[in-house]
Chains A and B, each alone.
Chain A
Amino acid sequence: MNKENEIIAELQSMESPLATMARTMPYSVPKGYFSGLTADIYNTVSQLQATTDSDRKQVPEGYFETLPEQMLLAAKQADKKKPVLQPLFRQVRWAAAAILIVCIGIGSYMTFDNAYPANAETMLASVSQNEITDYLQDIERVEAENISDDVALGSAQLDNDAIVEYLNETGWE
């Protein structure tokens, strides 16, 4: 059984009316299309091949052969450059941190240091003359009272022999 008969037999087994219909295509094709088609396709393919060949010739001879090595070299050089930049950046960062700490230290010192007078002279400068005079007079009065008390105590408890003995031991002057 040839193919045509096989197709018809199959349609007949399906009891299809298609089995008796003519299998012609109603589409039209331009006159002489198929006779020139092979040449058309061959020309298209040849032009493509020529374009591909000319594209290949537009790069320097041996370019693609040496390209992998060149790319590897470029990649390695790019890698080498990175460590030079990195420590420099780190140094700048540490320097900035140190400057910041010093600034904070100085600021803190100045802030807390100003809360107290710098020395005794500064303190005295802030006290008025009258206050100093009053103070000195008070001191003199208290010392005089203390001396008179001591004298009174001494005259009451020490006799002349003890005083002479004391002076003999320590000296009369």
Chain B
Amino acid sequence: MAAGAEQDDHILVAAFKDEKLKDAAFTKLVRKYQERLYWHIRRLVVTHEDANDVLQNVFIKVWRNLAEFRGDANLYTWLYRIGTNEALTWMEQQKRRTSVSLSGSEDIFSEKLTAQKDFSPSKIEWKLQQAVQTLPEKQRIVFNLRYYDEMPYEDMAGVLGTSTGALKASYHHAVKKVEAFLAAG
């Protein structure tokens, strides 16, 4: 993340801690990160409705906890960490609900993907999404953060609490699996 953007985040956090500036600072923060967080969550939970619900939860948590946010941490990775955790919690709940119903929980997100508006299995962008859905959860997150969000490994380590070496290996495996899925046709 650029140094200027990081400086802006420090100013936002400081303003949020001032009761008079709190609302304005929060609005600015939401406007700055809403789209990036939305897409990060949407890639995991697939549907817009679910992504919207998770995003609301994320910002509620931000509102409640930003005052305790330490200045030495990176706001952008902190937001992504909350977003990732909320999305994973949501997905776990969805799987549990599905596992008690008649259909299996394994393919729940693949089914949601194929049920999307304009879904076309012949189009490469949809095929790529199908390939990503076949990845294990952690690899899927790493792939999305690197391939779509263009996140540096150092920042990713801050989000996921994993070493950069392990993240690079994970991304490499994910890329190879996606390629194999696409090649299989």
Binding site for B on A (CB under 8 A): 3-4, 6-7, 11, 14, 16-18, 21-30, 33-34, 37-38, 40-42, 44-45, 48-49
Contact at A17–B48, with CB atoms within 8 Å? Answer: no
Q: What is the CA–CA distance of A11 and B102 in the complex, to the nearest angstrom?
A: 41
Closest Cβ neighbor of A11 among chain B residues = B175
Contact at A42–B23, with CB atoms within 8 Å? Answer: yes
By DSSP majority rule, is chain A's interface helix, strand, loop, or mixed? helix
By DSSP majority rule, is chain B's interface helix, strand, loop, or mixed? helix
Contact at B150–A21, with CB atoms within 8 Å? Answer: no
Contact at B123–A26, with CB atoms within 8 Å? Answer: yes
Q: What is the CA–CA distance of A33 and B39 in the complex, to the nearest angstrom?
A: 13
Q: What is the CA–CA distance of A33 and B56 in the complex, to the nearest angstrom?
A: 13
Please indicate the chain B residues that have their CB under 8 angstroms from the CB of A26 in the complex: 116, 118-119, 123, 125-126, 129
Q: What is the CA–CA distance of A29 and B128 in the complex, to the nearest angstrom?
A: 19
Q: Which of A4, A18, A37 contacts B178 (CB 8 A)?
A: A18
Q: What is the CA–CA distance of A123 and B48 in the complex, to the nearest angstrom?
A: 112
Contact at B147–A23, with CB atoms within 8 Å? Answer: yes
Closest Cβ neighbor of A14 among chain B residues = B175
Q: Which of B30, B150, B175, B178 contacts A41 (CB 8 A)?
A: B30
Contact at A27–B42, with CB atoms within 8 Å? Answer: yes
Asked, given contacts A25-B43, A26-B125, A42-B23, whether A34 binds B60 with beta carbons under 8 Å apart, the answer is: no
Contact at B30–A42, with CB atoms within 8 Å? Answer: yes
Binary contact readout B103-140 vs A (1 if CB under 8 angstroms, 0 otherwise) = 00000000000001111000111101100000000000
CB-based A-B contact count at 8 angstroms: 83
Binding site for A on B (CB under 8 A): 23, 26-27, 30-31, 34-35, 38-39, 42-43, 46, 48, 52, 55-56, 59-60, 63, 116-119, 123-126, 128-129, 146-148, 150, 152, 172, 175-176, 178-179, 182
B136 to chain A, nearest CB (A): 18
Q: Which of B31, B52, B60, B116 contacts A48 (CB 8 A)?
A: B60
Closest Cβ neighbor of A13 among chain B residues = B172
Please indicate the chain B residues that have their CB under 8 angstroms from the CB of A3 in the complex: 150, 152
Please indicate the chain B residues that have their CB under 8 angstroms from the CB of A45 in the complex: 26, 59-60, 63
B62 to chain A, nearest CB (A): 9
Q: What is the CA–CA distance of A38 and B127 in the complex, to the nearest angstrom?
A: 32
A109 to chain B, nearest CB (A): 74
Contact at B148–A23, with CB atoms within 8 Å? Answer: yes
Q: What is the CA–CA distance of A21 and B123 in the complex, to the nearest angstrom?
A: 12
Q: What is the CA–CA distance of A30 and B117 in the complex, to the nearest angstrom?
A: 11
Contact at A37–B30, with CB atoms within 8 Å? Answer: yes
Q: What is the CA–CA distance of A17 and B116 in the complex, to the nearest angstrom?
A: 26
Q: What is the CA–CA distance of A57 and B35 in the complex, to the nearest angstrom?
A: 37
Closest Cβ neighbor of A34 among chain B residues = B35
Q: Which of A21, A30, A38 has the most CB of B within 10 A?
A: A38
Asked, given contacts A25-B148, A41-B34, whether A16 binds B179 with beta carbons under 8 Å apart, the answer is: yes
- Please name the 5 residue pairs, one residue from A and one from B, whose CB atoms are nearest each other, closest first: A3-B150, A26-B125, A45-B63, A41-B59, A38-B30
Asked, given contacts A27-B42, A38-B31, whether A18 binds B175 with beta carbons under 8 Å apart, the answer is: yes
Please indicate the chain B residues that have their CB under 8 angstroms from the CB of A40 in the complex: 56
Contact at B27–A4, with CB atoms within 8 Å? Answer: no
Contact at A34–B34, with CB atoms within 8 Å? Answer: yes
Q: Which of A4, A27, A30 contacts B150 (CB 8 A)?
A: A4
